[in-house]
Structures are given as C-alpha cells and as structure tokens.
Structure 1
Amino acid sequence: MNVKSANNLFWLMIIIVLPLLLSACTEPVQEKPKAPVKTEKNRPPKSTVSEKEWKLPIAVAEGEFYKSAGWLADNDILYITNLEQTSSLYRYQLFTGKSELIYKSNAPIVNAQISSSKEYILIHSSPSSYEGIVTIIDTTGSVLASQSIASYELLFDWNPYNDSEVLISKFNEDWSFEVLLLDTQKATISKLSLPQPFVKWTGNHKYGFLNWDDNNPSLYAPLIEMEIGQDEGSTLFPAIIQFSPYQDILLTISANATENPQATYAFFDGEMKEVFSFTSPLLSRFSDWLIPFYDYYASGSQFAALKPKISGEADAYMDGFDLEFYNLKKHSSKVIMSGLENEPIQFSPSGDALLYGNRFEKIIDVSKRKILDLIKE
C-alpha cells in the first residue's frame, strides 16, 4: 500500500465511525429556517463550576445513553439516548439534574451537532444503511428543515459564520465522493466542484482543504483556499499535515520527519500574520502522523491540546497524554492534567470545563483539575 492510499484509507475509516448525514441531490429541503438570532449569553460566575453543585451522573429518563453532542450553555449539555429503533435528544441541566426532551426520532440518531451560535441543532438519523435524514431544529425542538437523502457515508462542516450553510462530503460505496453545500436559508442542496472531500470553512464565503497529490504520495500537502463559486483557489501554506480554522484564528500543524519528530502548531490572524506557535512531540504511523485531539476557546484565546510526552511510534506509545493549555495572547502555557487517553475534548462556552471522551461521557473541571462522569456505567 503506498503512502497516499494508506493515508486516504485511514481517514475513510475515521468517517465510518462518524457517519453523518446527507448525500447528493439537488432537490430542495422541505422547510426554510428562520434567520439565526444572535443573543448575548449570561455566563454564571466561575465558582459555579463545581462537582459539588453539579448533579451527576445523569439519570437517563428513557432508553440508554448513547453519547453527548455538546454544550448548549455553560451548564446545559445535549445528549442522545436510544430505545429499540428510536432515539431521543435531551437537554440536561447540570445544576438541577433535570433532563428535558427536545426531539424524538423514529430512526436511530447517528450524530447531532450544535451550531456555533448555540441557536440550532443539526441531527443526522439513519433509518437504513443507505439512507440518511438530516433534520435542523432550534433549541426548543421546532423543526426548521428536514430532508431524506440516499448515502453511504457522510461528513459535514457547519459554517461558523452563517448558521444556514453546511458543507457535506458524500461518499459512495466505492469511495468516490461529492462535496455539497446545504443552504437552509435558500432551501437548496448544490454540488461543489472540489478535488478533495475533507473541506472546512475558512471564512463566510471561503473554504479550505489539503490538496493531496494522488500521483506523488507524501506526508505533507498544500493548504488551498477557495471562494464559493470559484473554480480555482490560492495556496495558503505549501506543506502542512493538518489545519483547523476558527472564527478569529487559523491553526496549521506542520511536522519534521527527523529521528525525533516534532509537530509545530502555528496560529494566524485574519491577515495571515502568525500570532503564536509551539512545538510538541510527534507520534508517527505507517503512512502519516497521529495528531492528538485539541480544541480552541476563542473568547479567552485559550487553546487546549493533548500532548504525548515523547516522540516515537504511535503503536508502541504507552505513556499517556498531557492536557496542556496555551494562552495565545500571553504566550504562556500550563499543564492541567497528565496521564490522559487521547480522546476528543470540547470547551464549554465559558472555558471553565471540557467535555471529554469518545462519547463525551465525561467532564473535565478545569479549575479543580478533576474528571467527572456524566454517566454511571
């Protein structure tokens, strides 16, 4: 297996675990959502984030806990339960210990994603192996759009600048792909002409992707940015291994292929000026690198990253990961916890806590540096 093929196979196996919505089709979605309403969130004082005040674990009202989908507010978590062939979406209030049913699906819910404004929820349910239903609701459970679309595997990226737009990468059974743009405001799904399936929003009308060369397999690829409606893009960086755009910051990750490989995390502002960077030990795999999970809290300019203690081969690494926080404005860092597994993390809206785990089944209390269980297994 060549390097590029193995790299593609790895990422395609990742999305098998994250099957997500939709597939190709130019038919309109059924309903048109209201324009997002931006509201100012009232944050509780930092002292409220305490395992002594939070009522945990969750007492599931009906069915079995499947996974958490993220934070609706500082003390409100969205979670999914399964009961036979149905699924339900609940809001859980950490202080009161009460679960509120938001939405019930007659088909199993595969995943749910909360928009960056916290005003909308995108639900992917799957009544069969080759059909996906995408439903967009508001946080009260009102359905704003729903569409059934044939598909094998899907991946999506919600526009953080505009809640009405979602990029969808649709894979056929032979792993050929199409990239689609779901516009719930215009009530349309349109096909985009892109050479790569793994696309992320880099601006309100722009998206970026790593442009891997099938004819010349490599561990690195250029980061290309394109405007919606344009056929050609521009190269932002010539050779990186991963990137993550946020509303005010673009993160790029590069690597050196030395005996003791290191990853460089670099952060750029809207004018592509570097504002901060740091290095981390890097774990290698057969065809690529292992990049541990991370998240960014924009309001506090805080970046959280899981880091291996030493460089080496990923398969042989057994030393656990440090959770380290970086302040992009102060150019400072601190280790919050050590000995963690490499599992997904997500900041709460205030930055005081992190959802943690492959099912977001745990919470990290940042100030107390403790892990709390959402669910009692």
Structure 2
Amino acid sequence: MDRIAMLFVLVSVLLCGCSSFQAEGMKPASSRESFLANKMQPDVVNERNNLIVPIQSESVKFQSVVDWYNYDHLLYIVNDELGAKVFKHHIYTGNHELFFEITDPIITLQSSPSNDHFLIHTSNSSNEAKLIIVDDKGEVLLDWEVESAELQYVWNPFDENKIFITSFLEDWTFKNYILNMEQKKVDENNLPHPFIQWMSSTTIAYLKWEDAFTEAPLFLANINGDEEEKLGEQIFAFHSYKDIFLTISAKNESINFQFSKSSTMEKLHEFTLPVINTYSDNWWIPNYDYDPIKKKFYYFKPITENNEVQSLDLISFSIETGEEETILPNMEDQPIKISSDGEKLLLGYQYNTIIELKSKNTSTLIN
C-alpha cells in the first residue's frame, strides 16, 4: 500500500473518531445495520427527579447533538434548505433557544476545553471550508475560509486563544495553520506532520511516521517543529490533556494505555486491553473521554472468555488510584463525551443517549 493510501486510511480513522471490530468467536454480520441490531442496547430509564427531557426533533431537519454547552445544556444542529441553526437545549426543562444560525450547512461544532468558546465548521462545497469562532452568546469572534476536503483541529487547553488546524486536500496532501483568537489571525505553520497535540501554550507533540502509518516515534517540539525531543518509541496513538498525557502502544501482544503527568512526564498508571481483529486490520482503539475534575478516564473495555471477546463494557478508570468501575455492561463502541461537571456522558454517533454516571441510568435525547 502506497503512502497516500495509508494516509487516507489513517485520516479516515482519526477524523471519524469511531472504531468497528469483529470479535473473535462472533458471527460476522451481513451489514452494519444487522450488526448493530444484534448488539444489546442499554435500557432507557429516567430518575424520579431531574428527568431528562428529550429534544423534539423533525427527522428531515435534525442533524445531531454536537456538544455540551455547559453541564445542563446541550447544543444541537438543524440543517434545512435555508441554512443551518444551532440550538441550546436544557436537558431537565426541555427549553430550547437559538444559539447561532448561518446560510451554509454546518458540518460540526466543537467547544473549547472550558466551554467558553465554540468552533463551528461549515462548508458549502467539497473543497472549501469555513471555521467560525463564537463566544458563549453565539456572537462571532473570528471567521476564516480555507481550501479543504477534510479538517482536523485541536484547541490548546493551556491557552484557548490558539487552535492548531490541519487542512487535507482531496489528494490527502495537507497544510497546517495556527489560529489565534486574541490576535484575530490565522498563520500557516510549516510543521511537516499532521495530528498534533498541544503539550503547553507553545509546544506540541506528534508522531513522526516514516513509510508505514502504524507505530512511530513520538516527539515533543515547539510549534515550528524545532528543538525536538523524543518522548517514546513505537507509539500508535496519543492524547494530551491539561493535566495528563496518554500514549497507546503495543505491549506483550496487548494494547497498553499509559498515563503520565503532562508537566513532568512522570508515569501515573497504565492498563492493557486485548487486541481485537478489525475489518481494516488496523489497531482497534476504543472511543474514550477524560474528566479532568474527577480524574477519571472513560472507555470501552473488551470482555473476554477463553481468549475470545464476548462483549464491551463501558468503564471508568481512576487516574489517581488505578481502580476501575463498570458503568454499563454489554455495550457497542460509540463516541462518548463527558459533561463539564463530570456527572453525565453523551453516547452515540448523534449523541442521542445520555448516561447519568451516579445512578448509571440512561435516557434517550431525541424524540
């Protein structure tokens, strides 16, 4: 497989943020629909108090829940022939209000780590995109257009004025940029690597792939790629948060998740997962999210019997103690997103389910 084809596979996996797998011993499904239909879904229940009130949607117009606005409000997108609207929905009262609207279709929305700002990705053609930064009132602070077939963007959790952007063209060549909200400008960046993570207000980390886009050495450098320092060998995924740094690698025929302090790289805890066969023969990495308040890492853990994967459990892993807790058993690997108070999780490709972590109750979000 040539380098462009390998990059296409990697970009598809990282931008989609989802994982498909065929567990050992499971019968292959004839289609994705029948595969999902055979998976057990969590029962939808409500607590006696603070009932979750779902969004009343029209299927023709509703696109998706996209992010938390704060701990008790969600943001969702409605696209129609007149353009797109973002609404703010209160999960306990059902009240909703218009947050933002535009004549172009909205691809997605992403909040900053503090939920003070929101990045809105719009596009009206297959080779152009626009990024719009708004404040918590939905007022536009900055907008920027770029030639692009796909975009990847990373907020700087140490300085939320900065966003690192990678724009992929149709031939999967790419350009990097740094958006600076404070200075209201976007500068091209000459770093020859995509998929970076911020390590401080001025430094980044990246994998330096050679011929194969699988395992690679991990490097720390300034935002221009100067003053490189090697952080690890044979890493195939990583993620930086403000207080912890996660690396994912192979270890004794297992997948190893290692957590370190972002400031010192001191190792905190680690755990391993069994390797799962995937349709693409690439490494399977479960969807995950991290709660910086309670220091808990949420992910889907394969449950095995006789070395065969039988199911997936939604697990919380304490970064402080190394202890794990099963939130819900027998789940499908789907995107998850923690609320700012650490009490709730969004689940699903449209975030159409909410999990209340204390009670472990689940409720549907879309009617």
User: Normalised by the size of structure 1, how large is the TM-score?
Assistant: 0.83
| Aligned counterpart in structure 1 of residue 228 of structure 2, from 230, 233, 238 | 233
Write the distance in 1 (CA, Å) between the matches of 2:193 and 2:172: 12
Letter of the 1:281 counterpart: P
- 3-state SS, counterpart of residue 8 of structure 1: helix
1:126 aligns with 2:123: yes
Matching residue of 1:268:
260
1:112 aligns with 2:109: yes
Residues 69 and 114, structure 1, Cα contact 8 Å, conserved in 2: no
Write the distance in 2 (CA, Å) between the matches of 1:250 and 1:126: 33
Matching residue of 2:238:
243
Give, in angstroms, the shift of residue 7 of structure 1: 4.4
Deviations 1:326-375 (A, max 9, x none): 11112211111111111111111121110011121111121222321110
Residues 303 and 309, structure 2, Cα contact 8 Å, conserved in 1: no
Write the distance in 2 (CA, Å) between the matches of 1:276 and 1:92: 37
Distance 1:229 1:5, change over 3 A: closer
Gapped regions of structure 1 (runs ≥ 5): 19-48
Deviations 1:126-154 (A, max 9, x none): 12222212111112111111122222221
Write the distance in 2 (CA, Å) between the matches of 1:128 and 1:218: 29
Matches within 5 A, 1:178-327: 178-214=175-211, 217=212, 219-256=214-251, 261-269=253-261, 270-285=263-278, 286-310=280-304, 319-327=310-318
Letter of the 1:295 counterpart: D
Give, in angstroms, the shift of residue 171 of structure 1: 1.1
Q: Tell which deviates more after alignment, 275-284 or 344-353.
A: 275-284
Write the distance in 1 (CA, Å) between the matches of 2:334 and 2:325: 19
Q: Tell which deviates more after alignment, 241-250 or 142-151.
A: 142-151
- 3-state SS, counterpart of residue 304 of structure 2: coil
1:65 aligns with 2:54: no
Gapped regions of structure 2 (runs ≥ 5): 18-45
Residues 92 and 99, structure 1, Cα contact 8 Å, conserved in 2: yes
Write the distance in 1 (CA, Å) between the matches of 2:6 and 2:51: 42
Write the distance in 1 (CA, Å) between the matches of 2:306 and 2:256: 16
Matches within 5 A, 1:331-342: 331-342=322-333
- 3-state SS, counterpart of residue 97 of structure 1: coil
Give, in angstroms, the shift of residue 232 of structure 1: 4.2
Write the distance in 2 (CA, Å) between the matches of 1:9 and 1:51: 48
Write the distance in 2 (CA, Å) between the matches of 1:15 and 1:146: 24
Give, in angstroms, the shift of residue 173 of structure 1: 1.6
- 3-state SS, counterpart of residue 193 of structure 2: coil
Matching residue of 2:12:
13
Aligned residue pair count: 337
Where has structure 1 moved over 6 Å in runs of 4 or more?
none
Write the distance in 2 (CA, Å) between the matches of 1:57 and 1:218: 41
Write the distance in 2 (CA, Å) between the matches of 1:311 and 1:262: 15
Letter of the 1:365 counterpart: E
Q: Cα RMSD over matched residues?
A: 2.4
- 3-state SS, counterpart of residue 310 of structure 2: coil
Residues 6 and 287, structure 1, Cα contact 8 Å, conserved in 2: no
Residues 297 and 303, structure 1, Cα contact 8 Å, conserved in 2: yes
Residues 51 and 372, structure 1, Cα contact 8 Å, conserved in 2: no
| Aligned counterpart in structure 2 of residue 97 of structure 1, from 91, 94, 98 | 94
- 3-state SS, counterpart of residue 77 of structure 2: strand
Write the distance in 2 (CA, Å) between the matches of 1:148 and 1:305: 35
Give, in angstroms, the shift of residue 231 of structure 1: 2.8
Write the distance in 1 (CA, Å) between the matches of 2:52 and 2:83: 27
Write the distance in 1 (CA, Å) between the matches of 2:154 and 2:208: 17
Letter of the 2:173 counterpart: S
- 3-state SS, counterpart of residue 345 of structure 2: strand
| Aligned counterpart in structure 2 of residue 353 of structure 1, from 344, 350, 359 | 344
Residues 115 and 122, structure 1, Cα contact 8 Å, conserved in 2: yes
Write the distance in 1 (CA, Å) between the matches of 2:59 and 2:333: 30
Residues 168 and 179, structure 1, Cα contact 8 Å, conserved in 2: yes
Distance 1:6 1:132, change over 3 A: closer
Residues 191 and 224, structure 2, Cα contact 8 Å, conserved in 1: no
Q: Tell which deviates more after alignment, 296-305 or 149-158.
A: 149-158
1:80 aligns with 2:74: no
- 3-state SS, counterpart of residue 349 of structure 1: coil
Write the distance in 1 (CA, Å) between the matches of 2:174 and 2:306: 34
- 3-state SS, counterpart of residue 170 of structure 1: strand
| Aligned counterpart in structure 1 of residue 362 of structure 2, from 362, 365, 371 | 371
Write the distance in 2 (CA, Å) between the matches of 1:311 and 1:139: 48
| Aligned counterpart in structure 2 of residue 139 of structure 1, from 116, 136, 140 | 136
Residues 71 and 348, structure 1, Cα contact 8 Å, conserved in 2: yes
Write the distance in 2 (CA, Å) between the matches of 1:262 and 1:334: 21
Residues 282 and 312, structure 1, Cα contact 8 Å, conserved in 2: no
